[in-house]
Amino acid sequence: MMERLLILEDGSVYRGQGFGSDELKTGELVFNTSMTGYQEILTDNSYCGQIVMMTYPLIGNYGINRDDYESIEPAVFGFVTRDLCQSPNNWRSQETLDDFLKAHNIPGIYDVDTRAITRKLRNKGTMRAMMANPDTDIEAAVKQLQETDYLHDQVARVSSSKIFPIPNRGHKVVL
């Protein structure tokens, strides 16, 4: 794993370890207090354009499996956790969290103080954030964050552009 930074629009910088993709993106940093369900959160389209931080400390312990996806493609822009389990132990696990994030071009960072960041977000509200390499010009990154607008096209980004059937028995429903 390599060192990675989490930079917030207020100038806060958190050093941690990178995992997942090296394709670093800017997004709205939010937190989730669930103790389980990180896979469902990552594939929940309501998090489109957001960098999701988990407040539960250990994430990745049961791996990833295709049966628990909430959508076909994840739409989150990043993932933050305190501790990362790199050797999941569950009979349903098909891949590690790190492998999943790499396959879907989602950057992650762990070994950061998620409690301090959560308190900051609770007091100040969500903030724009980015993950960055350790040699990044912090002042320039903060300026970029402050000038970047939030997404306004999430529905278009996550909506299907084609009709597709979902096999089932019983009544047919069209959405």
pLDDT, tens only, 1-29: 799 999 999 999 999 999 999 999 999 99
Name the domain count of the chain.
Answer: 1
Residue 64 counted as domain residue:
yes
Residue 38's domain comprises 2-158
- Look at residue 28 and tell me if it is in a domain: yes
* Confidence (pTM): 0.92
Tell me the pairing of strands 2-8 and 50-54: unpaired
Tens digit of pLDDT for each residue in 142-155? 999 999 999 899 99
DSSP state of 150: P
168 located within any domain: no
**Which residues sit opposite 47 in a β-bridge?**
none
